[in-house]
Structure 1
Amino acid sequence: MWSQPYDVLIVGAGVAGSALAQGLAHAPSSARDKPLRIALLERSLAEPDRIVGELLQPGGVSALRKLGMDDCLEGIGAVPVHGYCVVKDGANVHIPYPDALEGRSFHHGRFIQALRAKAKTAPGVDVIEATVNELIECPFTKRVLGVRATREGEKESFLADLVIVADGCFSNFRSVVMGKAAAKSATRSHFVGAVLQDARLPIPQHGTVCLVRGNGPVLLYQIEEHDTRMLVDIRAPLPSDLKGFILSNIVPQLPAALHVPIHNALDKDRLRRMPNSFLPPTEQGGTHTKEGVFLLGDAWNMRHPLTGGGMTVCLNDAVILTEMLSELRDLHDWDAVSNVLHRWHWRRKGLAATINILSVALYDLFGAEDDALEVLRTGCFKYFERGGECVRGPVSLLSGIAPDPMLLANHFFSVALYSIWILFTHPRAVREPGRHKPIHAIPRIDEYPALFIKAIRVFWTACVVFGPLLWTEIKWW
């Protein structure tokens, strides 16, 4: 069975797919004399049930507004978010968003349903529940002409001038579209999630990051009036008894006000898990991908979800692509589309590279696995305690309102140097013979040679963390 041809066919009605469909449907264009016909295909239009994609940074709220979809945050129980609170060893540091900006947190599924409903009302958009099985290629030119899908048990073929694959982090078509050029994703840990009832966070309406010794960080944020999401980062391999591991190793290090809600949640609910993957962006178009198709969203580029920047990147990508693709008269012209993809790849770099690098770099610091990283983690916490630009700069990067990788590099290495300063000048725990408890003392002069060697290791570790991440963003494919 064949459907009538479309101008654009989007596989996946998640954040990226729904936003781009809405954007392209409403974008003004002097290059075309009629609106685009867009098919938005999704395997299941039922409300998704996921444990990530529940916090939208202020930069994402701004992008949603540019797409005319900011009303999707209304009527879903979304909670305003005014910044972050970082907790370490019982001490808190407040990291507010600058200039009274706010983000939103919510149940992921409700937000997705609101985006789909908005896209469905857009002119020329057909939202279709169908499972895409394969791409349709011209047997002679190998250009992608559309997709074959199963709708209500029937096989159906959908044709379009341009196919956009936005089927998420578990994409079935990533390697098909990009072939040997496809980047490899890396998974170092999993988020294990639960919903806490009536939990009291250290600072209300703030994302809370708890730094835990011997483990990755714990992230908490309110997603409805009575619901708070808890995400525990656990490195691979996962322990066989997840609940026992969390109760024994994680909960005792969290604020006391959270202990009872966590125990109740673990007693009543099943734990959900999600891999935390990093997938660097690879340039598309030209000979990098199959002709007539490209990837969008988590199918193409992922970052660690610790910073909650994924949806912000996706929505910003949709804003830029909407503008650029609307300039084209003929979406079948692959040379013109390839030119757009090249320009889009580098124009998005400011925001995408900043959030991508920050997410993994912060995770490495917050989930310190050796002495050098532990020094950097302590230095990062104390850097935030300084306040002023030491908070405003990093949170502007985190929130997606300061898309500047060089500003990120400046703050990252300022943290590294400040960590070294702390190493030499701040009291640290010292065990003395005959004492049951350690005392805190500033390093003595005779300890400086060993500390100098450690300082070199700390700075080298900072370079090893930041350098490869920056390279994945700026290298030319």
Structure 2
Amino acid sequence: MWSKSYDVVIVGAGVAGSALAHALSSSSRPTPLRIALLERSLAEPDRIVGELLQPGGVAALRELGMESCLEGIDAVPVHGYCVVNAGETVHIPYPDKHEGRSFHHGRFITRLREKARAAPGVEVIEATVNELVECPFTGRVLGVEATPKDGDGAKETFYADLVVVADGCFSNFRSTVMGKAGLKSDVKGHFVGAVLEDVTLPIPQHGTVALIKGHGPVLLYQIAEHDTRILIDIKNPLPSDLKKHILSNIVPQLPAALHVPIETALTKDRLRRMPNSFLPPVEQGGRHTKEGAVLLGDAWNMRHPLTGGGMTVALHDVVLLARALEGLHDLADWRAVSTTLHRWHWSRKPLASTINVLSVALYDLFGADGAQAYYTCVIFRLTYVCADENLEVLRTGCFKYFERGGECVNGPVSLLSGIAADPVLLFNHFFAVAFYSIWVLFTHSRAVPVPNSDKPVYAVPRIDEYPALSIKALRVFWTACVVFGPLMWTEVKWW
């Protein structure tokens, strides 16, 4: 068995792994680091997520000196969002001069890998990592054992002072590194995806979020000159016939201009799906993880992909981690590394927590009109059941909150896009939506069924209905607390 020694071994050449390899090679150390970047396959990946980079992610990429990776891949500028609900649309633009990008995931990853390969001291190796190599006496991770693709099947050991595991949402080593602290991701459903050809979205160069009655939201965004990605949220359990389910229940509620392109795409291409997972971050270092190893990217922390914040969080994490490790002269000193990881964990919190919490909270509201929702409050270890009707009130209030424009749009979209890293601002806007939803409940017209008629009439609540509405308002506010509170707790609690 052959062996090689490096300063850092990175498992996984995705967004986080490739970016970290480049960032560490660019540090101002007297002696450049020797870095091995291992990836099972260096062929262009083909995935249906990781195709929208928010303005905050573009800024992080620029800070890493990797903004050129967005060039030459037919990337499309993104200037904000359009939310479609029952035929009505609301425009949610990014603040002035801020721009995101959308693209084919594989093309972007290929450019990141090329950039990492060109960095001094970085060796990109196509190999399957089989296991972490640990010291038999202390349990410290000393490196990895892998099988190079261009070899004869013989395994090779890659030793390093520090091993960074960035092998994605299906990480093979998460539980090994985290031990008892490792959490199993919470899968809220799946995004089912396809590519539509030559379609016009309601607002060009904007991500489209279509709210579907009785089902989860649908996302659409252009990823190349002629290609538009559609992601359809399907709650568990998945229907036995996905195409039939989409054509019968989802397509009729989308804008008419999309019907034929979707039917064509479903006929020509296979549907692929990815789990919508949530995995809160556990602090690393010290007693929390195995010595010598660090988790990064989706291997460690995931949020719902509804808001497209995954790559933004990962790139921001890389910026801060590379900056923190730059001050360490000896990466084999685990005590010093642990102290650095502690500082890094809490320095990333403002942006990461904001995007993590917002992604799940928005999904809970936008996907409210589906199966009954259950929320587990981890503070008191009790399970609270939130009725759909209360979530629907919040969903309606959120849509009308965005319709107000001004700061009601600028604040939330700045948080969603990674421009503003402020959990307090998130708290303020979330509960502003809750209170505004209650105001809408009392003051806006709603459908009232008419006996012996299929058509309801719309009327503002009467004063004699206020007592019942007051009780419902309390339930709506409690639902908002149950949605937001446990999510925030997963971000701030100590392990």
Q: Deviations over 1:177-217 (max 9, x none)?
A: 01101122100110000000011100000000000111110
Distance in 2 separating the partners of 1:293 and 1:136: 10
Indicate yes or no: 2:369 matched with 1:361.
no
**Any gaps of 5 or more consecutive residues in structure 1?**
none
Distance (whole Å) between structure 2 residues aligned to residue 233 and residue 261 of structure 1: 18
Which residue pairs with 2:247 in the alignment? Answer: 247
> 1:242-285 CA distances to partner (integer Å, 9 max, x unpaired)?
00000111011111111111111111110000000000000000
2:401 maps to which of 367, 380, 383: 383
CA distance in 1, matches of 2:454, 2:328: 74
Secondary structure, counterpart of 1:172 in structure 2: coil
Q: Which of 52, 63, 88 is equivalent to 2:49?
A: 52
Q: Is the 8 A contact 2:4 2:157 kept in 1?
A: no
Identity %: 77
Q: Is the 8 A contact 2:103 2:223 kept in 1?
A: yes
| Residue of structure 2 equivalent to 1:17 | 17
Shift of 1:424: 0.4
Q: Deviations over 1:69-118 (max 9, x none)?
A: 00000000100000000000000000000022100000000000000000
Match of 1:120 in 2: 117
CA offset digits 1:32-60 (Å, max 9, x no partner):
x3100000000000011100000000000
Aligned letter for 2:448? V
Partner of 1:81: 78
Return 5+ residue gaps in structure 2 as ranges.
Answer: 371-387
CA distance in 2, matches of 1:52, 1:385: 28
What is the distance in 2 between the residues matched to 1:397 and 1:262?
31
Correspondence list, 1:29-428, <5 A: 29=29, 33-152=30-149, 153-368=153-368, 369=370, 370-428=388-446
Which whole-Å CA distance do the structure 2 matches of 1:464 and 1:4 have between them? Answer: 51
Match of 2:28 in 1: 28
Secondary structure of the 2:155 match is strand
Alignment partners' CA distance in 2, 1:251 and 1:323: 47
1:312 partner SS? helix
Q: 1:440 to 1:161 in 2, by over 3 A?
A: same
TM-score, normalising length from structure 2? Answer: 0.95
Distance (Å, rounded) in 2 between the aligned partners of 1:100 and 1:271: 36
Q: What root-mean-square deviation, in Å, do the aligned CA atoms of Structure 1 and Structure 2 show?
A: 0.7
Secondary structure at 1:213 match in 2: coil
C-alpha distance in structure 2 between counterparts of 1:401 and 1:211, whole Å = 25
- CA contact under 8 A between 1:285 and 1:342: conserved in structure 2? yes
Q: Which amino acid aligns with 1:138?
A: C
> What amino acid maps onto 1:47 in structure 2?
E
- Residues in 1 aligned to 2:26 and 2:116: alpha-carbon distance in whole angstroms: 10
Q: TM-score, normalised by structure 1?
A: 0.99
Provide the C-alpha distance between the structure 2 equivalents of 1:118 and 1:379, rounded to a whole number of angstroms: 45
CA contact (8 A) 2:217 2:366 kept: yes
- Paired with 2:307 and 2:267, the residues of 1 have a C-alpha distance of 28
Give the distance between the partners of 2:213 and 2:27, measured in 1 at CA. Answer: 49
Counterpart AA for 2:391: L
Q: Which runs of 4+ in 1 moved over 3 A?
A: none
> Which residue number corresponds to residue 482 of structure 2?
464
Query: How many residues are paired up?
Result: 474
Deviations 1:401-420 (A, max 9, x none): 10011100100000000000
Q: Give the partner amino acid of 1:295.
A: L
Cα distance between partner residues in 2 of 1:107 and 1:158: 32
Shift of residue 125 of structure 1? 0.1
Partner of 2:43, secondary structure, is: coil
The residue that corresponds to 2:379 in the other structure is: none
Q: Which amino acid aligns with 2:9?
A: L
For 1:25 and 1:100, how far apart are their aligned partners in 2?
Answer: 31
**Structure 1 equivalent of residue 375 of structure 2:** none
More off after superposition, 117-126 vs 3-12: 3-12
2:476 matches 1:440: no
Secondary structure of 1:94's match? Answer: strand
Shift of the alpha carbon at 1:434? 4.2
CA distance in 1, matches of 2:274, 2:111: 23
Secondary structure of 2:111 counterpart: helix
- After TM superposition, give the deviation of residue 364 of structure 1 in Å: 0.1
SS at match of 2:287: coil
Q: Distance in 2 between matches of 1:24 and 1:279?
A: 26
| Deviation sequence 1:365-403 (CA, Å, 0-9, x none) | 000040001010000000000000000000000000100
Amino acid aligned to 1:7:
D
CA distance in structure 2 between the aligned counterparts of 1:164 and 1:412, rounded to whole angstroms: 35
TM-superposed CA distance for 1:302, in Å, is: 0.2
One-letter amino acid of the counterpart of residue 298, structure 1:
D
Structure 1 residue matching 2:363: 3-state secondary structure? helix
